[in-house]
């Protein structure tokens, strides 16, 4: 069996910044591999596409340009927001804040928090970065009818 649409694939990954080689996150550190329904839009489309055809036990380093991953950084997504809109939140540079909008929740990173205004970055934290995913396929199985209907995997065994 190989990675293809309508299969549930369980894999370990280590995500690195291509330029620095720094590990951003790894499923191995959490001890839990990731299980996804291929075609369910649960992972970056370009990553899923490059995993196609892999088999259980196979390892592959997959490089994604920023434009294929989380997009290029957009300067107009750095904005100044009045401080009072954040209520009594303890804000400092690096704080990630989630806000509800008419279009759904958005995440922003605080760049500077002053008394009157807060400068936030609405870009994804990995925007503008070329990435490397080290992938190891642990398991591939048929998706259950329920998983196909719901559009995501229901755990490693498919019985959750």
Query: Distance (Å, rounded) from C-alpha 36 to C-alpha 147?
Result: 10
Note the pLDDT of residue 65: 97
75-121 belongs to CATH 3.30.70.20: no
Note the pLDDT of residue 92: 92
- Rounded to two decimals, the pTM is 0.80
Q: What is the mean pLDDT of residues 37-46?
A: 92
- The two tokens of residue 150 are 């719901």
User: What CATH number labels 7-70+127-150?
Assistant: 3.10.50.40
Per-residue confidence at 6, pLDDT binned at 50, 70, 90?
A: very high
Residues 102/109/47/66 CA torsion (nearest 10 deg): 110
Note the pLDDT of residue 158: 38
Nearest to 126 by CA among 18, 11, 33, 27: 18
Q: What is the mean pLDDT of residues 62-91?
A: 94
Eight-class DSSP state of 30: H
Mean pLDDT, rounded, of the chain? 91
Nearest to 123 by CA among 69, 82, 159: 69
Nearest to 50 by CA among 61, 41, 36: 61
Q: Is the pLDDT of residue 160 over 60?
A: no
Per-residue confidence at 155, pLDDT binned at 50, 70, 90?
A: low
Where are the chain's structural domains? 7-70+127-150, 75-121
Note the pLDDT of residue 103: 85
Q: What is the mean pLDDT of residues 121-140?
A: 95
Strand 23-26 relative to strand 104-113, pairing: unpaired
Q: For the sheet containing 117-121, what is the strand order?
A: 78-82, 117-121, 104-113, 96-101
Per-residue confidence at 156, pLDDT binned at 50, 70, 90?
A: low
Residue 109 host element (H or E): strand 104-113
Query: Distance (Å, rounded) from C-alpha 69 to C-alpha 121?
Result: 18
- The two tokens of residue 54 are 């892999």
Q: Is the pLDDT of residue 130 over 70?
A: yes
Equal fold, 7-70+127-150 vs 75-121 = no
């Amino acid at each position: 069996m190989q990675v293809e649409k309508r299969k549930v694939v369980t894999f370990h990954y280590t995500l690195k910044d291509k330029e620095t080689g720094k590990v951003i996150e790894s499923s191995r550190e959490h001890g839990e591999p990731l299980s996804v329904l291929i075609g369910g839009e649960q992972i970056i489309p370009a990553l899923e596409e490059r995993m196609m055809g892999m088999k259980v036990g196979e390892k592959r380093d997959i490089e994604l340009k920023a434009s294929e991953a989380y997009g290029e950084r957009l300067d107009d997504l750095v904005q100044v927001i009045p401080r009072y809109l954040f209520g009594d939140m303890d804000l400092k540079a690096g704080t990630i804040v989630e806000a509800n909008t008419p279009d759904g929740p958005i995440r922003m990173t605080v760049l500077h928090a002053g008394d009157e205004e807060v400068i936030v970055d609405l870009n994804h934290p990995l925007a503008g970065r070329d990435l490397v995913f080290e992938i190891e396929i642990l398991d591939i199985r048929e998706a259950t009818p329920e998983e196909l209907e719901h559009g995501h995997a229901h755990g490693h065994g498919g019985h959750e």
